[in-house]
Structure 1
């Protein structure tokens, strides 16, 4: 397997790992080292991959960084009763240019996803999500992205790509593979009114910080429909992180972000997960431990996946039909997990890439709302998007 772009985990981390209890995660996973080389991935389900690229950060001033502290923290945690096998395949170093790094990441992720291995990418700047998205070009016709972030990152797509404008590039660069883009935890004052209006016009979904904090379960159906989950550490409350990482006094707390990571893991569709905007500082232990716990919860979620989205067998689900605002809405409830979906009707005269009835994950509350003649917003946006 061609992983020319990867450099091994540093010897200082490996030396630290040797001192840990044999029951710790670091002693249970395969690790890419100078001595052993890249581990065999035939029976691996999840890989951890660092990307040491931050040059397209709008605040970049030439500083380098490494992920040693995150690895040290992660390796000290104890695994759950997991059946998935995990490998740490090391880092993609900065390329000659940022485009070289993008290429290396895209190629590496394409190989991993093809082999049904879920990559957890720990990165510098969040524009790396663009390379993650491009890794799907040859794999599937349409991709859904969920961004856990304080801002939409749409930006001006006519300008060079930056960590606060990569979504504009994803929307406008060919091939056009983006079907849905959702932002979780955004804060209105970090987004221009133009960007908020554009999100509405494109029928993309956005969930404000207050909504998510009031009811974290809102995140689950959104994650259930995602292929790529990208997470900007700037979404975290300043009190939760170390010196350089502080962005805003408001944000998600540690418990909430771990719940979000677990929902991403539980989703059967999520095939890549990225944590970005890591900026180490001398008092870094708290950020690296929180990132480690997010990774732990994502892996925990993957281990709790239940295949409940096979609708070919009627025994697997119950079907409910209701009328809301003169639309016939068809809901499905899994008999295995109790999770809900709603059907998006296929429009015969529309030349879209989804040539079938699409089932959109939703909540039990959406069904109750429909029974009270209120159309669920997720259904409305998806329906309008199919109409465009």
Structure 2
């Protein structure tokens, strides 16, 4: 398997790892080192991948960065009672051009997801989500992307790709594989009215910071339905991170971002998870520790995945049918986990994109709303996309 574009984890981190407790996570990870090369991936479930690319950051002024502090923090944490095997594959350095980095990242992710290994990408600028998305071109027909961000990052797709406009490229570049795009934690004053309207017109989903902070559980269904989750560290409030990472006094707090990460891990569909916009400071313990804990909670979630979406046998679920404005809505509740789904009806006369999306994750509240003659918002948007 050709991963010759990966550079090993630094000797500094490996030396630090030697001093850790035998129970520490760093002692249980297969690590790509200069001495031993890339570890065998045969029984690996999760692979950590650094990407040292930030040239498409709109504020890029030539600064370099590395991920040693994050690795030191992560390796020093204790693992849960996990049964997953984790590898750290080291870093993808900047290529000759940004396109070279994109190609290397796309290649690496594509190899990993075809081997049923979940990559955790830790990187520079968030435009790296674009090659992450393109890695799915020949893997699954339609892709759902969730962006944890204060902004939609739609941008002007006619201009060269940047970290504030990569979603426009995902929507408009061929092949068209995007089915749903959702933003968690957006802050209205960072987004133009034009972008907010476009999100509505495309029937994409958006969850305001206030909604998420009031009830974090509202984001679980959209994460349960995601293939790719991309976290922008600027969505985290300034008080939670170190100096260079501070962006806004408002944002998600540490507990909220870790809960979101765990929901992403628990989702049976999430097959890649990225954390972007890392900007190290001199005294960087806060940010590197928070990123480590975000990664830890994602791995924790993966360990608690349950196959609860098999509705082929009656004993696995309960079925509920209700009428809303003469529209019959069919809900399913898993007997294993208590999680809910809603059925999206096929429109036979339409060239249907939804062959794999007949059941849409939802909340118990959506069923209660339907009983009170209110159409669930997620169902409505998915139904409208199905009609397009």
* Counterparts in 2 of 1:126 and 1:356: CA distance versus 1, 3 Å: closer
Conserved? CA contact 1:345–1:357, under 8 Å? no
* Counterparts in 2 of 1:357 and 1:301: CA distance versus 1, 3 Å: closer
Unmatched 5+ stretches in structure 2: none
Once the two structures are superposed, residues 9-50 of structure 1 have per-residue CA deviations (whole angstroms, 9 ceiling, x without a partner) of 000000000011111000111100000000000000001000
Matched residues in 2 for 1:131 and 1:355: separation?
25
* Counterparts in 2 of 1:356 and 1:6: CA distance versus 1, 3 Å: closer
Matched residues in 2 for 1:314 and 1:164: separation?
46
Matched, 1:111 2:111: yes
* Counterparts in 2 of 1:18 and 1:354: CA distance versus 1, 3 Å: same
Unmatched 5+ stretches in structure 1: none
Please name the residue that 1:78 is paired with: 78
Aligned with 1:127: secondary structure?
A: helix
Conserved? CA contact 1:225–1:360, under 8 Å? yes
TM-score normalised by L of structure 2: 0.99
Please name the residue that 1:348 is paired with: 348
Matched residues in 2 for 1:354 and 1:384: separation?
11
Q: CA deviation at 1:357?
A: 6.6
Q: CA deviation at 1:5?
A: 1.2
Aligned with 2:96: secondary structure?
A: coil
TM-score normalised by L of structure 1: 0.99
Matched residues in 2 for 1:193 and 1:355: separation?
33
Q: CA deviation at 1:355?
A: 3.4
Conserved? CA contact 2:225–2:267, under 8 Å? yes
Matched residues in 2 for 1:277 and 1:105: separation?
16
Please name the residue that 2:43 is paired with: 43
Please name the residue that 1:135 is paired with: 135
- 1:236-385 to structure 2, matched below 5 A, reads 236-355=236-355, 358-385=358-385
Matched residues in 2 for 1:36 and 1:200: separation?
51
Q: CA deviation at 1:311?
A: 1.3
Matched residues in 1 for 2:176 and 2:203: separation?
16
Conserved? CA contact 2:9–2:90, under 8 Å? yes
Conserved? CA contact 2:353–2:386, under 8 Å? no
Q: CA deviation at 1:356?
A: 6.4
Once the two structures are superposed, residues 47-93 of structure 1 have per-residue CA deviations (whole angstroms, 9 ceiling, x without a partner) of 10000000000000000100000000000000000000001000000
Matched residues in 2 for 1:337 and 1:172: separation?
37
Q: CA deviation at 1:352?
A: 2.4
Matched residues in 2 for 1:114 and 1:311: separation?
25
Aligned with 2:315: secondary structure?
A: helix
Matched residues in 2 for 1:172 and 1:118: separation?
26
Matched residues in 2 for 1:383 and 1:126: separation?
30
Conserved? CA contact 1:221–1:363, under 8 Å? yes
Aligned with 2:126: secondary structure?
A: coil
Matched residues in 1 for 2:336 and 2:94: separation?
45
Q: CA deviation at 1:207?
A: 0.2
What is the count of residue pairs matched by the alignment? 388
Conserved? CA contact 2:346–2:352, under 8 Å? no
Q: CA deviation at 1:353?
A: 2.6
